[in-house]
Amino acid sequence: MKRTNLTKKDLISSIYMQIGFSKNISENLIDDFLITVVENLKTEKKLKLSKFGTFSIRAKKSRIGRNPKTKEQTTISNRDVVLFKASKEFKDLVNSKNDS
């Protein structure tokens, strides 16, 4: 099975074809949505989209890493990572056996 990525351009075209918005409006819609998601995660640390899933932020502690080429040890600083947990409805849709 060949895997392909859905790019932002593909998503804009899909909205354009399905809803009929112009490509400019479709691009603005996607940009505004992504900005809203990122800003919400920065301030609230959690975002729940009904029937889709939950995005959350988790802090990772600093740790010691090793460069595989030089074997040199280095410290990897603290950072926040984004987690996504799919909702039951989303999982059911992805795993459905219906090919229609």
Confidence bin at 85 (pLDDT 50/70/90): very high
Sign of CA dihedral 90, 95, 97, 100: positive
Categorize the per-residue pLDDT at 6 as very low, low, confident or very high, splitting at 50, 70 and 90.
confident
Whole-number pLDDT of residue 69? 93
Residue matched to tokens 């593909």: 10
| DSSP alpha helix (H) spans, the chain | 8-19, 23-44, 88-95
**Using one digit for the tens of pLDDT, what is the confidence trace for 12-44?**
898 889 988 888 999 999 999 999 999 999 998
Q: What is the pLDDT of residue 20?
A: 86
Mean pLDDT of all residues in the chain? 90
pTM of the model: 0.71
Q: Where are the domains of the chain?
A: 1-44, 55-99
